[in-house]
Amino acid sequence: MHEAGHEHGISRRSFVTGVVGILGGLIAALVGLPAIGYLISPALKRQSADEWVPLGLVEDLPQGEPTLFSFTRTKQVGWERTANSYGVYVVRRADGELDVFSNVCTHLSCRVSWSEDVDEYVCPCHDGRFAKDGSLISGPPPRPLDRFEHRLEEDGRLSIHLQEG
């Protein structure tokens, strides 16, 4: 009787070992497949992340007042699908030129908002402040807001160049 119990113990142990082995293999496959995708398609990844995004008609923009455009881009790389949301501030200056920059704070990537009360972009995380043209006024951010390369299409539409690192 003692013998039988001992044998049972061994077979359960080997069963558990087997299950752990199979699970380990499955996890390795799940983790490994997207990694292979990254390795074999770096060119594909760059292409999908590099595009011109139309924002809207420039003539519709109020002069001297920051206007926020928001959009989302979905990226599929191998098995992985990621949705990124973007915020872009556009200011039509008195001289007709456009300032086009990201609403992502250059400190730790919180989203800044334009405040009409103080005439500044304010970061809610650590109170970073930026002027209307995106330049740094105060707080911990190390540099001005990042600018987007932009162009005017023939139909008067503004597009920005979106590039993801």
Least distance CB 106 / ligand FES (angstroms)? 8
The tokens for 134 are 């995106």
User: Looking at residue 94, what DSSP letter applies?
Assistant: T
By CB under 6 A, tell whether 110 contacts ligand FES.
Answer: yes
The binder of ligand FES chosen from 92, 103, 141, 158 (CB under 6 A): 141
By CB under 6 A, tell whether 87 contacts ligand FES.
Answer: no
By CB under 6 A, tell whether 140 contacts ligand FES.
Answer: yes
By CB under 6 A, tell whether 123 contacts ligand FES.
Answer: yes
Using a 10 angstrom Cβ sphere, with 0-12 exposed, 13-18 middle and 19 or more buried, the burial of residue 112 is buried
The per-type count for the chain, helices as H runs and strands as E runs, is: 2, 10
Q: Smaller CB distance to ligand FES: residue 68 or 108? A: 108
> In degrees rounded to 5, what are phi and psi of residue 26?
-65, -45
Q: Which amino acid, one-letter code, is at 69?
A: F
The binder of ligand FES chosen from 12, 75, 126, 151 (CB under 6 A): 126
# of chain residues touching ligand FES (CB under 6 A): 11
Q: Quote the CA–CA distance of 50 and 143 in Å, as a whole number.
A: 24
Segment interacting with ligand FES, rule: CB under 6 A, options 18-26, 45-53, 90-98, 107-115: 107-115
89 and 103 Cβ atoms separated by less than 8 Å = yes
Least distance CB 132 / ligand FES (angstroms)? 17
The binder of ligand FES chosen from 105, 136, 158, 160 (CB under 6 A): 105
CA max distance for the chain: 96
> In the complex, which residues of this chain contact ligand FES (CB under 6 A)?
105, 107-108, 110, 123, 125-126, 128, 139-141
